[in-house]
Amino acid sequence: MKTEKEKMLAGESYLADDKELVAERLRAKKLLHRLNVTEYVMNGNARNILHVLMPNSHKRLYIEPPFICDYGYNIHCGENVYFNVNCVVLDEMIVKIGDNVLIGPGVHIYTATHPLNAKERRLKEISKPVSIGNDCWIGGNATICPGVKIGNGCVIGAGSVVTKDIPDNSMAVGNPAKVIKKLNQENV
């Protein structure tokens, strides 16, 4: 029999108020409090906190506080990833971010979603992974929805809501985000 955490990570319906999951979110909140309040600047102490909070991310990760996430360990960042202020990552499932990615202020990345049936929604949650390729720029206040894959070399316009996959070397804008042009790979 699977634990609720195992169900969450497998993309199956799970109980978010499971004791283990509640404890893990509380652990993350305590680390985020230290990052967002006690340190508030990226220094050696903040880097140590990030290493504990996000052990699956490259050491060359830079986050401008405040930053919010649910678990931290489900965020896998490559080398040279930058999060600007006020970013939120609901990481119930894997969020994979490639190398050399710029994430603008106020960007929200969601893996958590809910059943459409109201009765089911009272008890269960679902999660779907998110993937952002190498050399991407996610504009300020963009929202990346559960299950979305953004290819390499993409630009997501400020304020866009990405509900579907975006192919490599594309510029996508709007709500919902639509590809408006292909980007020249030589300029990436």
Q: What is the SS3 assignment for the chain?
A: CCCHHHHHHHCCCECCCCHHHHHHHHHHHHHHHHHHHHHCCCCHHHHHHHHHHCCCCCCCEEECCCEEECCCCCEEECCCEEECCCEEEECCCCEEECCCEEECCCCEEECEECCCCHHHHCCCEEECCEEECCCCEECCCCEECCCCEECCCCEECCCCEECCCECCCEEEECCCCEEEEECCHHHC
Per-residue pLDDT at 67: 97
Distance (Å, rounded) from C-alpha 28 to C-alpha 36? 12
pLDDT of residue 186: 57
* Catalytic machinery residues: 114
Bridge-based pairing of strands 126-127 and 112-113 is antiparallel
Question: What confidence score (pLDDT) does residue 187 get?
Answer: 46
Determine the Cα–Cα distance for residues 83 and 6; give it in Å rounded to an integer: 28
Give pLDDT tens digits for 100-150.
999 999 999 999 999 899 998 888 999 999 999 999 999 999 999 999 999
CA torsion through residues 10, 12, 17, 20, sign: negative
Residue 148 structure tokens: 């979305």
Sheet bearing 130-132, strands edge to edge: 75-77, 95-97, 130-132, 149-150
Q: Rounded CA gap, 153 and 137, in Å?
A: 8
Answer whether the bond into residue 66 is a cis peptide, omega within 30°: yes
Strands 108-110 and 130-132: what pairing? unpaired
Check residue 185 and give its pLDDT: 64
Residue 122 is predicted with a pLDDT of 87
- Which token pair is 97? 């971010």
Is the separation of the CB atoms in 165 and 147 below 8 Å?
no
Per-residue pLDDT 10s for the chain (188 aa) are 999 999 999 999 999 999 999 999 999 999 999 999 999 888 889 999 999 999 999 999 999 999 999 999 999 999 999 999 999 999 999 999 999 999 999 999 999 999 899 998 888 999 999 999 999 999 999 999 999 999 999 999 999 999 999 999 999 999 999 999 999 765 44
